[in-house]
Structure 1
Amino acid sequence: MTKTFTDKLPIIIAHRGASGYRPEHTLAAYELAIALGADYIEPDLVSTKDGVLIARHENEISETTNVANHIEFANRKTTKLIDGELKVGWFTEDFTLAEIKTLRAKERIPQIRPQNTIYDELFTIPTLQEIVDLAKAKSAEINRAIGIYPETKHPTYFQSIGLSLEDPLLANLAANNYQDANAPVFIQSFEVSNLQYLSTKTDLPLVQLLNATGKPYDFVASGDVRTYADLATALGLREIAKYAQAVGIHKNLLIPKDSTGKLRSPTSIVKNAHAAALLFHVWTFRNEDCFLPLDFQGNPQGEYELFFSLGIDGVFSDYPDTAKTKLR
């Protein structure tokens, strides 16, 4: 592994594309993110019924597509238990890719980003291959490497229904010549066991995601008592380093908030991660006040400045242009 946290500026990871400006997980959002200076574009990956990896925030797609308007799919609406939660709606694993391609994307949080609703139902749902094709084409066009940062969504669930995400992901990446530790790729997961499996199958960099609360769902399924808080300790980070090359952490793990939403003092998690030779990426940075700490209402640039000053190696941002202006 030759990626280091000492010789480069922090990377800008376009969170689901430039999702502050376009409906997330669309080629339009990814393309705009690249134009705005992102180093990596981030697709969340789920599977279709016929085993094709596509980009959606969740496998339940009523919030991010117009599926509810397609009367031919009305009988596909159902209830499923996903990672311990009952979900009602339409699920990607019940649709073939051809059927998915008849749907159109829409803004997921229209109450917060009403300006994005003008793009509702204009864009199709992209496959992983289409996203790779875009990254490669844009890299050649602008003479700058654009990386991809895919997340395996609900890997335990998809494995349980015979649609494992890991091997199809690796097959796709290998077919596109993304295979070694220096390839412009990070593979991320909130679960642990699938990253451990991937570490035996690939040299591509792996990222353990750490939430501010809860525990990995594969730990729930297996009865493992550890939580994300346990994984975020110095000991936990050293364990992560046995199978991953980076951590992607909720920003509250680095700078907690008090009960009023005001920031407290930073923790030692960056220092501990770097001591374990892990890169340190932080999510998610957004410009709207409802997502900002009390200290930076109306000033998202100030939040970036603070986090960059703590020695982090990358940020997930819905607004890569804002991140870029404060980095460079």
Structure 2
Amino acid sequence: MRNSLIISFCLLALFFASCQGRGAAPAFVFTGDFVTIAHRGASGHAPEHTMSAYDLAVSSGADYIEIDLQMTKDGELIALHDLEVDRTTNGSGRASLMTLKEIKALDAGSWFNKQNPQSAEPSYEDLEIPTLEEIFQRYGTTVNYYIETKSTGMENKLINLLREYSIIGSDSKVILQSFYSKSLKKIHRLAPGIPLIQLYRYKEQAKMTTRELRSLEKYAAGIGANFDMVDEEYIKKAHSHGLAVHLFTVNTDKAIQRAVEMGADGVFTDYPEKVKRKNLLSKGGLKFKQPE
């Protein structure tokens, strides 16, 4: 009888632990930190999503480097914002229909020199589109990553790479974001300890119902939204549900100051040095608590 009670108690404890791990978003603690997220690297100074842009972001003191992910035809994760390669390379077509070898043959830097002669550098010519693995090989656990899944179907590959390079559970912090709730919910099942950001792009004044916020709490640690459509009320309501708010894309001194005054917890910016130079602190900002 005594052994049966012990077994029953252990099974019950395991059940509650399992439910708690599946249902709750990662915890974070209130601090005064205002997070600087280098949007596609320091993309105001170098070609976006290239090693040059990431290097500048790191040297500027950015808290996180942001990486958008696309998947190639042969299943490799690459740093690329658009579905197509047309805008940021000398090639054309959808990245998902190209092999990594074809992607690597593209010039991902010369376009920047042409469009930004004041920031042009000879070293930017013929830059490659990096893979996520190459980025991890370069920086390892010495930087913090803010990674976006640009489509569904890449979650297993992403989590496996994070584990392979010991980024999960290390001193390096990682936040994952997506416009696709399906992608985030899958990631939450695969690795429930990673903070997740649900992205929204509002076409009019941002609003969020209590019901929507309660639904977000189940898998997300915060919200990412376009700066020009968010106000103080929106941010306060998100905070009341324990959700951080990071705003994109905030590039001017005036806009950065406004984001701070509204109570935002951080910004995505093409010019991370502007935020760091101000040494800004938000009021009651949120900082993610890393999983043990």
TM-score range, shorter chain: 0.7 to 0.9
1:142 matched residue in structure 2: none
1:194 matched residue in structure 2: 183
Q: Which amino acid is 1:55 matched to? A: A
> Taking structure 1 as reference, are residues 241 and 107 closer, same or farther at Cα in structure 2, changes over 3 Å only?
farther
Say whether 1:150 aligns with 2:147: yes
Say whether 1:305 aligns with 2:270: no
Q: Distance in 1 between matches of 2:257 and 2:232?
A: 17
Kept in 2: contact 1:181–1:205 (CA 8 A): no
TM-score, normalization: structure 1? 0.71
1:210 matched residue in structure 2: 200
> Taking structure 1 as reference, are residues 132 and 65 closer, same or farther at Cα in structure 2, changes over 3 Å only?
same
1:257 matched residue in structure 2: none
TM-score, normalization: structure 2? 0.79
> Taking structure 1 as reference, are residues 122 and 107 closer, same or farther at Cα in structure 2, changes over 3 Å only?
closer
Say whether 1:3 aligns with 2:28: yes
Q: Distance in 1 between matches of 2:112 and 2:209?
A: 33
Q: Distance in 2 between matches of 1:130 and 1:166?
A: 18
2:47 matched residue in structure 1: 23
1:80 matched residue in structure 2: none
Structure 1 portions without partners, runs of 5+: 68-88, 140-145, 156-163, 215-227, 255-265, 287-299
Kept in 1: contact 2:140–2:165 (CA 8 A): no
Q: Distance in 1 between matches of 2:211 and 2:227?
A: 20
Matched residue SS, 2:57: helix
Deviation at 1:112, TM superposition (A): 6.3
2:118 matched residue in structure 1: 115
RMSD over aligned CA atoms reads 2.4
Which aligned pairs between 1:170-319 and structure 2 lie closer than 5 A?
A: 170-180=159-169, 184-202=173-191, 203-213=193-203, 232-254=208-230, 266-286=231-251, 300-319=252-271
Identical amino acids, percent of aligned pairs = 36
Q: Which fold has the larger relative contact order, with Cα–Cα distance below 8 Å and residues 6 or more apart in sequence? A: 2
Aligned residue pairs: how many? 253
Kept in 1: contact 2:106–2:126 (CA 8 A): no
Structure exhibiting the larger radius of gyration computed from Cα positions: 2
Structure 2 portions without partners, runs of 5+: 1-25, 281-292
Deviation at 1:245, TM superposition (A): 0.8
> Taking structure 1 as reference, are residues 39 and 273 closer, same or farther at Cα in structure 2, changes over 3 Å only?
same
Kept in 1: contact 2:248–2:269 (CA 8 A): yes
Deviation larger for 10-19 or 179-188: 179-188
